[in-house]
Amino acid sequence: MSHLRPIIYEMGYNKDVINQDIIKEDDKKYILSYPTVYIVQDVDRHAGYSVYVGETSDIKRRTIEHISIDSKERSDWRELADSESAEMYVIGHEHFNKSMTLDIENKMMQYLASVDVVKKVNNRRTNQQNMYYSYDEMEEIFSKIWRKLRTFDPKLFPLEKTIRDSALFKASPFHKLTEEQLAAKDKIMRRIETNLANKAGVGTLIVVEGDAGSGKTVLMSSLFYELNQLAKENSETQQLKGTSQFLLVNHDQQLTVYEEIAKKLDILTHDGQKTVLKPTPFINAHPQEEPVDVVIVDEAHLLLTQGKQSYTVKNQLDDLLQRARVVVAVFDRKQILSREQYWTPEQLETLLAKVKSEGNHIALNKQLRINAGQSTIDWIRNLVDLKTIGTLPKKDSKGYEIRFFNSPDELQKAIFEKAQNEDSGISRLLATFDWPYSGNRDNEGQPWYVKIGDWQMLWNLQSKLTRQQKRLNKGLAWAEQPQTLNEVGSTFTIQGFDLNYAGVIIGPSVKYRNGRIVFDKSQSENSKAKQRRSLDSGLKIDVSEEMLNNELNVLLSRGVNGLYIYAVDDALRAALQSEEIKYE
Higher pLDDT: 134 or 182? It is: 182
Query: In the chain, what percentage of residues exceed pLDDT 90?
Result: 67
Model confidence pLDDT, tens digit, residues 392-431: 887 888 999 999 999 999 999 999 999 988 777 799 999 9
Residue 130 pLDDT more than 90? Answer: no
* pLDDT-based confidence at residue 183 (cuts at 50, 70, 90): very high
**What is the average per-residue pLDDT within 363-379?**
93
How confident is the model at residue 385, as a pLDDT?
A: 95
Cβ-Cβ contacts under 8 Å for 539 (sequence gap 6 or more): none
For 36-79, how does the pLDDT look when each residue is reduced to its tens digit (9 = 90+)?
999 999 998 777 899 999 999 999 888 888 888 887 777 777 88
User: For the chain, what percentages of helix, strand and coil (3-state, to nearest 5) are there?
Assistant: 40, 20, 40
Residue 581 pLDDT greater than 50, yes or no: no
Mean pLDDT of 81-95: 90
Higher pLDDT, residue 172 or 134: 172
pLDDT at position 582 over 50: no
Q: How far apart are CA 4 and CA 93, in angstroms?
A: 8
pLDDT bucket at 3, cuts 50 / 70 / 90: low
Residue 71: per-residue pLDDT: 79
pLDDT tens per residue across span 209-234? 999 999 999 999 999 999 998 888 66
Distance in angstroms (rounded) separating the CA atoms of residues 55 and 47: 26
Average predicted confidence (pLDDT) for the chain: 90
Instruction: Strand 48-56: give its sheet, edge to edge.
Output: 7-12, 87-92, 36-44, 48-56, 118-121
Instruction: Identify the band that residue 535 occupies on the pLDDT scale cut at 50, 70 and 90.
Output: confident
Q: Find how far residue 464's CA is from the centre of its chain.
A: 27
C-alpha 562/C-alpha 399 separation (Å) is 9
Q: Is 90 left (phi over 0), alpha (psi -120 to 50) or beta?
A: beta
The DSSP annotation for 485-554 comes to GGEEE-HHHHTT--EEEEEEEE-TTEEEETTEEEE-GGG---HHHHSPEEPTTS-EE--HHHHHHHHHHH
pLDDT score recorded for residue 127: 66
Determine the average pLDDT of the residues in 187-207. 92
Q: What is the pLDDT of residue 23?
A: 87
236, pLDDT greater than 80: no
- Residue 39 CB partners (closer than 8 Å, separation 6+): 51, 52, 53, 54, 88, 89, 91, 108, 112, 149
Collect all residues with Cβ–Cβ distance below 8 Å to 79 and sequence separation of at least 6: 42, 50
pLDDT band of 584, cuts 50, 70, 90: very low
Model pLDDT for residues 270-327, shown as the tens digit of each residue: 777 899 999 999 999 999 999 999 999 999 998 988 877 677 678 999 999 999 999 9
pLDDT of amino acid 553:
96
Find the mean pLDDT for residues 195-199.
Answer: 87
List phi, psi (to 5°) of 288. Answer: -60, -30
- List residues bridging with 408 in a β-sheet: none
3-state secondary structure of 94: coil
Summarize pLDDT for 465-497 with one digit per residue, the tens.
999 999 888 888 899 999 999 999 999 999 989
CA 164 to chain centroid:
11
| 182 φ, ψ (degrees, to nearest 5) | -60, -45
6-15, 120-129, 362-371, 388-397, range with the lowest pLDDT:
120-129
Name the residue with higher pLDDT: 11 or 246. 246
| Position 31 pLDDT exceeds 50 | yes
3-state SS class at 583? coil
**Distant-in-sequence, close-in-space partners of 88: CB < 8 Å, separation ≥ 6:** 10, 11, 12, 13, 17, 38, 39, 40, 41, 63
Residue pLDDT, tens place only, 447-461: 999 999 999 999 998
Q: What is the pLDDT of residue 475?
A: 80
Q: What is the mean pLDDT of residues 171-191?
A: 94
Taking the alpha carbons at both ends of the chain, their separation in whole angstroms is: 31
Averaged pLDDT, 543-557: 95
Which residues, in sequence order, are bridge partners of residue 120? 50
